[in-house]
Amino acid sequence: MSKPFEGVYAALTTPFAGDEIATDKLRGNIEKYNQTNLSGYLVLGSTGESVSLTDGESLRLVEAVVAAARPGKKILVGTARESTKLTIAFTNRAAEFGMAAALVRPPCYFKTRMTREALRAHYLALAEAAKVPILVYNIPQNTGVPLDTQLVIELAAHPNIIGLKESSGSMGFLGDVRPYVPRSFHYFLGSGHILYPGLEMGADGAILAVANAAPELCAEIFRLFQAGNKDDARRLQLDLVPLNKMLVEVYGIAGLKHALDLRGYYGGPARLPLLPIEDKAKRDIAALLKILGY
């Protein structure tokens, strides 16, 4: 029995031309992604450099993606702000553009105050006030605020909290959450490293940076898995692992954007403080893409 949001999503990069956002380039990428089996798109995720954008830029990006996405592709939007009030406000402003669900990382500046109680209060207030369903987002490598599995299980009981994106890449987190949340709760993997093994152990899909550069590969792993063809899913996963490592872990967003340029999408520059990658990185990326047959 399929679930409404299942499948693989691209955590979209944000194209810049010079120092301005380039919504035309974004639309161009989306038109290509529309031809794939991706289930949809995440706008304003970590990979989208959302923290580096103004609210105005952010909303224009949401508008552009909603307009460009083929019907049936689901739109997720990262809407976190540091205060509960601002998170609710921005979520509901963005909701007017027609997203399917909001993905919300925890507030993270006041790290030592982000107790389970504070995080629970934040997410529940948001879930009550938001006009769209909420996906909780665990990405401690960026936030420095790890969500604990018990909190996720508690939050999953709220009818407007419909899922989780888990980007620490831990199989343990999956094992500690999946049996204790409703079957309808969506568990999205946030790390390409464990796409196939995570699906095998109960994840419903994934929201992946690497899917910008390799949407067919990611979507095909999901399709093969669903078809019960575990051996082929496993084989493709062995290609995805080094690609994910190089583009997401080693070289980061600037590296991923370079791979997009090489693969015929628009990558372009990252916004400072993210530095451009160096020539060695470009050679590494080109070499790996060639090895993988791109």
Q: Please identify which residue in 37, 170, 263, 282 interacts with its own copies, judged by CB under 8 A.
A: 170
Q: Please identify which residue in 200, 216, 232, 261 interacts with its own copies, judged by CB under 8 A.
A: 200
Which of 98, 24, 48, 72 has the alpha carbon at shortest distance from 212?
A: 48
**272 — phi, psi (to 5°)?**
-60, 145
Which of 152, 85, 182 has the alpha carbon at shortest distance from 125?
A: 85
Give how far the C-alpha of residue 213 lies from the chain's centroid of Cα atoms, to the nearest Å: 13
Separation between Cα atoms, residue 1 and residue 19, nearest integer Å:
46
Q: Please identify which residue in 34, 37, 84, 160 interacts with its own copies, judged by CB under 8 A.
A: 84
Q: Which stretch binds its own copies (CB under 8 A): 22-30, 59-67, 209-217, 231-239?
A: 231-239
C-alpha to C-alpha distances, 116 to 13, 39, 59, 152, 184, nearest whole angstrom? 31, 32, 31, 10, 24
Element holding 151 (H helix, E strand): helix 149-155
Q: Please identify which residue in 32, 111, 235, 283 interacts with its own copies, judged by CB under 8 A.
A: 111
Q: Is 280 in the site for its own copies (CB under 8 A)?
A: no
Q: Is 125 in the site for its own copies (CB under 8 A)?
A: yes
Element holding 89 (H helix, E strand): helix 84-95
Q: Is 279 in the site for its own copies (CB under 8 A)?
A: no
Catalytic residue among 25, 73, 74, 165: 165
Question: Which tokens belong to 22?
Answer: 């380039």
* Binding residues among 247-276 for its own copies as defined by CB under 8 A: 249, 252-253, 271-275
Pattern 39-58, its own copies, x by CB under 8 A: -------x--x-xxxx----
Q: Is 285 in the site for its own copies (CB under 8 A)?
A: no
Q: Please identify which residue in 25, 73, 122, 258 interacts with its own copies, judged by CB under 8 A.
A: 122
Q: Which stretch binds its own copies (CB under 8 A): 5-13, 152-160, 235-243, 280-288?
A: 235-243
Q: Report the SS3 class of residue 75.
A: strand
Active site residue 280: no
Radius of gyration for the alpha carbons in the chain, expressed in angstroms and rounded: 18
Which of 163, 35, 54, 53 has the alpha carbon at shortest distance from 102?
A: 163
Q: Please identify which residue in 1, 71, 112, 182 interacts with its own copies, judged by CB under 8 A.
A: 112
Separation between Cα atoms, residue 190 and residue 40, nearest integer Å:
14
Q: Which residues are catalytic?
A: 165
Query: Which residues are at the interface with its own copies (CB under 8 A)?
Result: 19, 46, 49, 51-54, 82-86, 106-107, 109-115, 117-119, 121-122, 125, 141-144, 169-172, 175-176, 179, 191, 193-194, 196-198, 200-202, 230, 234, 237-238, 241-242, 245, 249, 252-253, 271-275
